Amino acid sequence: MRIPKTRTPQKGGKMRTINEIIVHCTATRASQKVTVADVTRWHKQRGFATIGYHYLVDQAGNVFPGRPEATPGAHCLGHNAKSIGIAYCGGLDASGKPADTRTEPQRAALLGLLTELKQKYPSASIHGHRDFAQKACPCFDATNEYAAL
């Protein structure tokens, strides 16, 4: 897997320090198609400048860039300045309850993306959003699942 290209810091700009990679879900039903444009619209409606995540992984396992890595995210209060935010599409079952709805392609894409990000930011720890907020997101224990990376 190759990390999709995102815009890099402007000439002479510095990359920020990354010490956490935080996994999220979009809190949508697994059957719902969600695009970067959808998430961007939702986040703008909440007052964000653009999409809050750096990457979005759809049900087919496609990885799409969101915010540039050099730009702080808007995905985890108190952790945005030094983290990368990744969301997978889904997280709710057919009845709208939190559930690990990752498809096999999503699981593989998330693992590949996290592996590459850990190579790029070796001192960064991987967490689920639920580790920092009273939420089910990402609807699985990302900290334990990715502890070996």
Active site residues: 24, 53, 129, 135, 137
Which amino acid appears at position 79 of this protein? Answer: H
Calpha distance 20→17 (Å, rounded): 9
Calpha distance 66→4 (Å, rounded): 10
Start-to-end CA distance of the chain, whole Å, equals 15
User: DSSP for 86-149?
Assistant: EEES-EE-TTS-B-----HHHHHHHHHHHHHHHHHSTT-EEEEGGGTSSS-TTSS-HHHHTTT-
